């Protein structure tokens, strides 16, 4: 009791920057509330973090921007959020800053926290193993503890003298119980018979603007060649819904069902076309064979191609150390190629079975109970 009482009333500033970060932050907050029921949380939060008890100083979609050109277009709004948090750190310092992913923003905020005398715990490492490895030196100066979600990340931080804990990947925790294919289809009001493909355009508006037209046209072509195929597309919020509404007025397969939950969508499907990001790992944990799609603005991709030093784009392939999910990148990420690869998957039951076995191996590497492990680290600072 004495230990808990000493920590009562702790204040945590927590900053996430997109839907996946919102989910990770929510899991951490719930696990911390079990240990420290009197702790309070505020920061940049989405609906899941708010539901877990975090007061949103700014909504998470203010920072949900990907790519250089997209950041430039939204620079004023991002700067306003940063200045608001910076002032909060200076005028009313919390007991701890927890940064969830979002490295370009959060590492700068960590610097402001250090100036204010606020310790920093970072949850979900920047991908320093892929590009800009020099950031490890900055992290060593700014971050009091790094919590990583992949086991191969610990060695890099240990070598740099950064306190680090492997906590496991939050997606495993969130998807501990996933519906089977028949149950998922029934929950969507669909027949359990016949082939189905999930189409995941991403959770950000900027992603949806690029990917929705590609996915709808690919589905339209596949449907023309195989009229029995149905499609399910999860819609991540009203911004993506508006993009989809506009695109569907011009194209798309006749048999397309929308839903809110990407996990139900992928669980219901025989295979999936997934925009690169956390959704690729979610699909892997569900066990649905997938193809990974990656397309950026030409300038952003030109820069990324010169900076990124990894053999694969999809995290599912990086974890497996081999291509367990085909990748369609930039010029290859176009409707006819997407339709053809999906068609080949649906036509080959043995290939689908091999893919499911490969994905089961990936899941085994992702650990268990990450939120509880992360909460132990954070509670140590409170």
What's the whole-number mean pLDDT along residues 350-369?
Answer: 92
What pLDDT does 172 receive? 87
Q: Which of 120, 64, 61, 118 is nearest to 95 (CA)?
A: 118
Tell me if domain 2-168+367-381 and domain 181-364 are identical in fold. yes
Q: What is the secondary structure of 76-132 as a DSSP string?
A: HHHHHHHHHHHHHHHHS--SEEEEES-HHHHHHHHHHHHHTT--EEEES---TTTS-
Phi, psi of 327 (to 5 degrees): -115, 130
**Maximum Cα–Cα distance across the chain:** 68
What's the whole-number mean pLDDT along residues 181-207?
Answer: 92
What pLDDT does 4 receive? 43
pLDDT in tens, 244-290: 999 998 899 988 999 989 999 999 999 999 999 888 999 999 999 99
| pLDDT confidence tier of residue 1, bands split at 50, 70 and 90 | very low
Q: Which of 60, 57, 118, 63 is nearest to 89 (CA)?
A: 118
Cα 89 to Cα 356: distance, rounded to the nearest angstrom: 47
Give the residue carrying structure tokens 């519906």. 179
80 vs 204, more confident: 80
Residues 6 or more apart in contact with residue 291 via CB below 8 angstroms? 271, 272, 273, 274, 325, 326, 327, 328, 338, 341, 342, 345
pLDDT in tens, 36-73: 999 999 999 999 999 999 999 999 887 865 555 555 66
Tokens of 295: 């397309």
Q: Which fold has domain 181-364?
A: Rossmann fold (3.40.50)
Angle (deg, nearest 10), helices 349-364 and 278-286? 110
Q: What are the sequence ranges of the domains in the chain? A: 2-168+367-381, 181-364
What pLDDT does 70 receive? 57
Sheet holding 230-234, edge to edge: 256-259, 230-234, 196-200, 271-275, 290-294, 327-329
Cα 216 to Cα 244: distance, rounded to the nearest angstrom: 9
Tokens of 91: 């005028």
- Cα 119 to its chain centre, rounded Å, is 25
Cα 178 to Cα 187: distance, rounded to the nearest angstrom: 12
Rg (CA), the chain: 21
Helix (H, G, I), strand (E, B) or coil at 8: coil
Cα 103 to Cα 119: distance, rounded to the nearest angstrom: 17
The rounded mean pLDDT for the chain is 90
Q: What is the pTM of this model?
A: 0.70
Cα 229 to Cα 311: distance, rounded to the nearest angstrom: 33
In angstroms, what CA-CA distances link 358 with 284, 313, 321, 324? 9, 17, 11, 6
Taking the CB of residue 9, how many other CB atoms lie within 10 A of it?
12
Helix (H) or strand (E) holding 57: strand 54-59
Tokens of 245: 């509404």
Cα 275 to Cα 202: distance, rounded to the nearest angstrom: 6
Superfamily of domain 2-168+367-381: Glycogen Phosphorylase B; (3.40.50.2000)
Percent of the chain with pLDDT over 70: 92
pLDDT in tens, 122-160: 999 998 876 677 889 999 999 999 999 988 899 989 999
What's the whole-number mean pLDDT along residues 178-185?
Answer: 92
């Amino acid at each position: 009791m004495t230990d808990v009482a000493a920590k009562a009333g702790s204040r945590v500033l927590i900053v996430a920057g997109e839907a996946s970060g919102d989910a990770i932050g929510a899991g951490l907050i719930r696990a911390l509330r079990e240990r420290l029921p009197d702790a309070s949380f505020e920061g940049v939060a989405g609906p899941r973090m708010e539901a877990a008890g975090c007061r949103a100083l700014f909504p998470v979609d203010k920072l949900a921007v990907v790519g250089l050109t997209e950041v430039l277009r939204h620079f004023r709004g991002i700067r306003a959020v940063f200045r608001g948090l910076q002032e909060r750190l200076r005028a009313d310092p919390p007991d701890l800053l927890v940064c969830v992913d979002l490295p370009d923003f959060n590492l700068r905020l960590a610097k402001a926290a250090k100036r204010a005398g606020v310790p920093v715990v970072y949850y979900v490492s920047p991908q320093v193993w892929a590009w800009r490895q020099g950031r490890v030196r900055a992290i060593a100066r700014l971050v009091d503890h790094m919590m990583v979600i992949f086991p191969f990340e610990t060695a890099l931080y240990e070598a740099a003298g950064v306190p680090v804990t492997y906590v496991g990947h939050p997606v495993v925790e969130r998807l501990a119980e996933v519906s089977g294919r028949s149950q998922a289809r029934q929950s969507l009001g669909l027949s359990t018979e016949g082939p189905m493909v999930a189409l995941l355009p991403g959770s950000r508006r900027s992603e949806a603007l690029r990917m929705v037209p590609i996915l709808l046209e690919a589905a339209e072509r596949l449907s023309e060649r195989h009229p029995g195929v149905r499609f399910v597309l999860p819609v991540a919020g009203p911004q993506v819904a508006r993009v989809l509404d506009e695109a569907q007025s011009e194209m798309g397969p006749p048999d397309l069902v929308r839903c809110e939950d990407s996990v139900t969508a992928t669980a219901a499907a025989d295979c999936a076309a997934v925009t690169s990001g956390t959704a690729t790992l979610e699909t892997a944990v569900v066990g649905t064979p997938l193809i990974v799609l990656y397309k950026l603005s030409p300038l952003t991709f030109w820069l990324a191609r010169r900076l990124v030093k990894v053999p694969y784009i999809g995290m599912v392939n990086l974890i497996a150390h081999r291509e367990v999910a085909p990748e369609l990148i930039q010029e290859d990420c176009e409707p006819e190629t997407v339709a053809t690869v999906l068609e080949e998957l649906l036509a080959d039951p043995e290939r689908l079975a091999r893919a499911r076995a490969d994905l089961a191996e990936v899941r085994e590497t992702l650990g268990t109970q990450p939120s509880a492990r992360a909460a132990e680290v954070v509670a140590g600072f409170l």
